[in-house]
Amino acid sequence: MSTVTNDRVERHLKNAVNDMVPNRAEALWHQPVERADETAWYLDGTASRRRTAIKVLRPALAAAAVFVLVFLAYFLVNLRIQATVYLDVNPSVTLSVNSRERVIRAEANNPDGRIVLEDMNLKNTDLDVAVNALLGSMVKHGYLTETQNVVLLSVDCDSEKKSQTLRIELSRQIDQSVDAMVGSARVLDQSVDADEALVTLADHYGISPGKAALILRMQRENPALDLDKLAAMPLYELASRFSGTGVDPEDYANLPDAFPEDPYLDELEDLVDDLEDAQEPHDEEDDPDDDLDDSGDDEDGDGPEDWDPDDDEPEDDN
C-alpha cells in the first residue's frame, strides 16, 4: 500500500480540478457572438434610464434658453443705444439713449460740457428729464441767458421716423424750458449721421458731431469762412454773426443730410487726415509758421491771411 504524502494529495487535487474545468479559452475566443435584440431580458430598464436622463435635462435646457432670451431682450431694450442726442450751446454734451428713451451714458465733449455735467448722474434718467437738467445747469453757469439763448439739437438714429420724432419732441421741450428760464429761446434742430470722419473732426475741435456737421455745411457753401473760427464760436455768436448776410445757421441745420454727395465725403476724409497730421510733432526747422510775419502773410507777401469774421463778413446776397 502506498504511503499518503502531502505532495501526492496536492497532485491528485490538481488533476481533479483540471478534469472539472476544461481549457476551452482558445475556442471561446474565436466563437462568433450574435448581437442581442431589444427584447433580451438583460436590456430591460436601459431605455427607461435614457428617457429619464432626457426628462431631467429637458427642463434645464428650457430654463437656459429662457435665460438667454430674457437677457437678450433686456439688452435690446435697456443697454443697446438706439439714438444719440447732441446738445451744443458752447458747452457740448452727448446723451446716448435706449429704446425706452432712457439715458445710458452722458458725456461732455469739451471743458464747458464737463462744467455743466458737474457731478450729475444722468444714467437711467428719462431723456426729457436729463435734457431739462442740462439746460438748468447751463443757465446756472451763465451759458444760457436772455441774449445767449441759441441751442443746437442734433439727433443720430438709424430710424428716420424715430429721429424725426425725437427732434420734434425735444425741440419743443427745449424751446419751452429755455423760454421759461431766461425769457426767450432759439432752437436749431437737425438729424446727423456721425460717421468715423465726422467724429474725428468733432473730437479735434471739442464739439459734437452735430455742430461739426453744421459748420461743415456752412463752410462748404461759403469757402471764405474759416472752419477753426466757426468751431470756436458759441451757438449764439454763430447765429448772430451772420444775421442779415444770407448765411443763417438755421438754414444749414435743417438740411436733410449733412453730406449728400459722395465727393464731399472724400474731402472730409482728406480734411481729417490733414488735422491728424497737424497734431503730430514736427521739427522747428520745418515749421511753416517760421516763414510767416506778424501779419499772417509769408515773407513774399503772397500768403493768404486767416479769415476774420469781424473784418470780412460774407456779403449780403441782396
Which range marks the domain in which residue 270 is found?
81-317
Strand 150-157 and strand 186-191: pairing?
A: parallel
Assess if residue 36 is contained within a domain: no
pLDDT (0 to 100) of residue 167: 92
Strand partners, 85: 95, 155
Assess if residue 24 is contained within a domain: no
The share of the chain scoring above pLDDT 90, in percent, equals 37
pLDDT at 304 over 60: no
Number of separate domains in the chain = 1
Q: Which of 59-73, 77-91, 196-210, 244-258 has the lowest mean pLDDT?
A: 59-73
Assess if residue 6 is contained within a domain: no
Note whether 69 and 84 are within 8 A (CB).
no
Is the whole-model pTM more than 0.75? no
Q: Which of 19-33, 53-67, 292-306 has the lowest mean pLDDT?
A: 292-306
pLDDT at 156 over 90: yes
Nearest to 152 by CA among 126, 181, 120, 178: 178
Cα gap 166→189, rounded to integer Å: 10
More confident residue, 239 or 20: 239
Nearest to 154 by CA among 102, 120, 109: 109
pLDDT at 95 over 90: yes
pLDDT (0 to 100) of residue 93: 96
C-alpha cell at 118: 458737474
pLDDT (0 to 100) of residue 23: 64
Assess if residue 224 is contained within a domain: yes
Q: What average pLDDT score do residues 304-317 get?
A: 46
The share of the chain scoring above pLDDT 70, in percent, equals 57
Strand 186-191 and strand 83-88: pairing?
A: unpaired
CA dihedral of 75, 135, 177, 175, whole degrees rounded to 10: -90
Assess if residue 12 is contained within a domain: no
Note whether 77 and 99 are within 8 A (CB).
yes
Assess if residue 171 is contained within a domain: yes
pLDDT tens for 250-285 read 888 866 544 444 445 556 666 767 766 666 654 444
Q: What average pLDDT score do residues 207-215 get?
A: 93
pLDDT at 126 over 90: yes
Over the chain, what is the mean pLDDT? Answer: 76
Kindly provide the b/e burial profile for residues 27-52, where b requires at least 16 CB atoms within 10 angstroms of the residue's own CB. eeeeeeeeeeeeeeeeeeeeeeeeee
Assess if residue 66 is contained within a domain: no
pLDDT (0 to 100) of residue 291: 43
> In the chain, which ranges are continuous DSSP H helix?
6-20, 25-29, 46-74, 111-117, 127-140, 160-182, 196-205, 209-221, 227-232, 235-241, 249-253, 262-279
Assess if residue 182 is contained within a domain: yes
- Is the sign of the CA dihedral 97, 146, 247, 199 positive or negative? negative
Q: What average pLDDT score do residues 88-109 get?
A: 94
